[in-house]
Chain A
Amino acid sequence: MKILVVEDDQSIVELLMTLLQGQSYAVEVSHDGEAAWYLIEAFDYDLIILDIMLPQLNGIKLCQNIRSAGRSVPILMLTGRDDYHDRAIGLDAGADDYVVKPFHPEELLARVRALLRRGDTNPQVLLSWGALVLDPINCQVTWSDQLVPLTPKEYGLAELFLRYPKRVFSCSAILDHLWAHEDAPGEEAVRTHIKGLRQKLKAIDRPRHAIAPHPGEMVETVYGIGYRLRVLPIETSIDIPIDRQKNQLESMIQSIWQKSAGRIQAQVETIEEWRKEWEIDPGLISDALIGDGSGTETSAQQQLALREAHTLAGSLGTFGSPQGSAAARRIELILRENVMPSSAELTEVKTALEILRSEVSRLSTMIPGDAMPPNHRLPNRNLALPILLIINQDPLALRSQLMPFMNDRWQIEVAANLTDAERIVKLDPPNVIVIDPDVSYWTDHSLAFLNNLAQQSPPIPVVILTSHIDALERRSLIQSRASLLLTRSAQGELAPQQLVNAVQQAYDWGDFERVETTRTEGGGARILVVDDDPMILMLAQELLAPWGFEITTLVEPRQFWQVMEAVQPQLLLLDVVMPEVDGIELCRQVRTDAHWSELPIVVLTSAHKDTELVNQVFSAGADDCVSKPIIGPELVTRIVNRLERTKRLQRACTIDRSADRSANRAN
């Protein structure tokens, strides 16, 4: 594990080096804040110990810079300033811990270990692999309580693999973590130490009948790429069920359906009875209202119908009918919200009941034990349909226009004004909102509503019909969080298909925002992957995450610059063929941007033999070109190599700069 000590007092530096090196940590030292910043930009550290009073750039400012650059490396502030106010400033600047000088060595080392654990995926005090245990307090490795004699570097290797159990380390990454840059040997030295570690672990005597892998197999070679900790076999590994299990489950669920169909039909009929009675004689039901006279009374029959609708909403999706769940949900909301439903709402209930009956009959035609036809198979996720809220003066009319284009893939809620819309959002947040500004004066209320949507977790994307909006209002809208703006045609109408496409697009964007950046252990490089094919994005994530990279995926290239600024990537992986703006164009834009012109870019092409396309890619400024279909090891190797080459260049610059600074100081 490599620690950077930023301290201008030589006596403290010497004390820290003795303590930390005694624990087998690699230690680098910087005597001023500015030089430290260059080192942090160029090298990966596992921990930074930082003084506050530093020449050039003080510790507080340096700490803020590190955090603003998106670096999550643990920081321990070590300073003589013992005021509670100073401690608060230090911690608020982004430090993880604060120790006051003079410090006690035992306490300082314990805090260092605690901070190193915090950055891990493995927070255990003792690290283990089967019966092999590494104790970071005593710097010892044991196998079934028997001491394994390791050199400091072999111990460091064992600790590195155990702290980052899922990560693959190239020789260069191992050098980064275990050697100070001025002492770093060649990659051959890493191989020698790995060999030494393996030999010592292989020499361990263990019972012949033991089932667990031998400790000698702990470090696995990933050929052509690096090393990693071998995954221990787990006795029950059924996280991802095999197809047979899935088929068996589907068949058993069908059997439960067959057994319960009578009960489910009865639940539908209970709702139907309530509807009929209300339709025939609302007065009869309102006479039987239960409650405290506050105006929120409902009849016993309505309560029963509400309960049945709720149960159906929560179960039909599991049986394979998201449409059934959505219809029951609609009924539930109407019953929950209305003591006296309007005739339009009763019509809605009637339509939803028709859907329910048809879904119940569809599910009942399946025979238990038979494989489900493909369109009936259990979905893997999203059992509830996404909800679209339409806010419009005549929302029911707009809803009927859109329905034929929705292919039963959406549940549609409606509101005729912002107050109703706010109530629906509070009750059951939709996935996308279509809003027509005609519902209110396009004023503070509308903007407050939009801002409220942006505060939701996750934020709700909005499609705005912009027929009567002037330039000023448009600007305010853009400054709010509206995801998408649409303009009506000259006739004031928008084709339903166009609107449905916009809704789907807004939903996909929302989906992207819900996908968090994959943050992996080890604080690896940030990579932004841009491709309009979600499968490629998933594949890239799966391939690259084990390397400790922080992967952000972007399916919508029009959000490119917004995401670039937010993510601040260290490498860009770009698809060539994308709608609206292609990879070559994005590559050109990046190269002409003063801030981003040096960013390494790898481009994915689907036709490697198309020499003209490859020429265009390189002419646009790409550093490398990888053809699809993606071959995992090839992509990983090219990205790792590209990043390491960039790092080497940055380091060369850093070392040159440090040498210049030392020379200047000497003069």
Chain B
Amino acid sequence: MMKSMTMPKRILVVDNEAYIQEITKISLELVAGWEISTASSGAEAIIKAAAEQPDAILLDVMMPEMDGIETFHHLQAQPKTQNIPVILLTAQLRSADQSHYKALGIRDAIAKPFDPILLAQAIRKSLGWV
């Protein structure tokens, strides 16, 4: 019940489109006060996740070369990143996908386009940070 003084949460945002990265970053920084780092591809995300040890990873699904699901599998295969919770951010979200993602071990999937005001709240809810 008591909330202690804690460091701000650190989130890694992964999206190949620069403007989506940017809009996600400022939404989370401004609304939740979290520290956001970004990656433009699955490969970059895997390196950054291992080095930065973020509290969570927000991962786009449809990316060229390595898509979000493949990136997730790589993250799971590494001991350094396998325990970092992953949330998918996807423009193609169906209820059947939700259960498939959860069965894979993905914490949640959030639909795009998202509301920048409510994104942080949705992430908190998905990760039980409320």
Residues of A within 8 A of B (CB): 122, 124, 127-131, 162, 165, 232, 234-236, 238-239, 241, 245-246, 248-249, 252-253, 256-257, 259-260, 263-264, 307, 310-311, 313-319, 322, 325, 329, 332, 378-381, 383-384, 426-429, 456-457
Contact = CB atoms under 8 A, between A and B. Distances in A.
A128 B1 contact: yes
B117 interface: yes
A378 B113 CA distance: 12
B94 A428 contact: yes
Contacts of B118: 380-381
Contact of B62 (A241, A307, A317, A322): A307
B19 A256 contact: yes
Contact of A249 (B17, B33, B94, B117): B117
A236 B94 CA distance: 34
B2 A128 contact: yes
In order of increasing CB-CB distance, the 4 nearest A-B pairs are A314-B91, A317-B113, A314-B112, A260-B19
Interface residues of B, number: 34
Contacts of A248: 30
B1 A165 contact: yes
Interface in B80-130: 90-92, 94-96, 111-118, 121, 124
Contacts of A257: 19
Contacts of A380: 115, 117-118
B19 A314 contact: no
Contacts of A322: 113
A332 B124 CA distance: 30
Contact of A383 (B17, B32, B33, B114): B114
Contacts of A129: 1-2
Interface in B8-67: 17-20, 22-23, 26-27, 30-33, 62, 64
16 contacts: A127-B1, A232-B1, A238-B32, A241-B117, A249-B30, A310-B91, A313-B112, A314-B113, A315-B20, A315-B23, A318-B23, A318-B112, A325-B113, A329-B91, A332-B91, A380-B115
A214 to B, nearest CB: 14
B95 A456 contact: yes
Contacts of B32: 238
Nearest to B1: A128
Given A316-B113, A383-B113, A259 B30 contact: no
Nearest to A246: B117
A397 B2 CA distance: 61
Contacts of B26: 249, 252-253, 256
B93 to A, nearest CB: 9
A209 to B, nearest CB: 15
A314 B2 CA distance: 38
A248 B113 CA distance: 20
B117 A315 contact: no
Most chain B CB inside 10 Å of its own CB: which residue of A235, A259, A318: A318
Nearest to B95: A457
A165 to B, nearest CB: 6
B5 interface: yes
Given A128-B1, A238-B32, A249-B30, A263 B117 contact: no
Contacts of A456: 95
A470 to B, nearest CB: 34
Given A256-B19, A256-B22, A313 B31 contact: no
Given A129-B2, A232-B1, A249 B116 contact: yes
Nearest to A235: B5
B94 to A, nearest CB: 6
Contact of B115 (A245, A259, A383): A383
A310 B17 CA distance: 11
A656 B121 CA distance: 52
A130 B113 CA distance: 39
Nearest to B114: A318
Contacts of B64: 307
Given A129-B1, A383-B113, A313 B30 contact: no
Given A310-B62, A315-B19, A378 B94 contact: no
A315 B113 contact: yes
Given A249-B117, A315-B112, A383-B113, A429 B94 contact: yes
A314 B20 contact: yes
Most chain A CB inside 10 Å of its own CB: which residue of B3, B64, B91, B124: B91
A311 B15 CA distance: 10
A427 B97 CA distance: 10
A13 B3 CA distance: 42
A379 B30 contact: no
Most chain A CB inside 10 Å of its own CB: which residue of B95, B111, B113: B113
A422 to B, nearest CB: 13
Contacts of B121: 239
Contact of A378 (B30, B117, B124): B117
A130 B116 contact: no
Given A256-B26, A263-B19, A457-B95, A238 B113 contact: no
A471 B109 CA distance: 44
Given A241-B31, A249-B27, A252-B30, A311 B113 contact: no
A379 B115 CA distance: 7
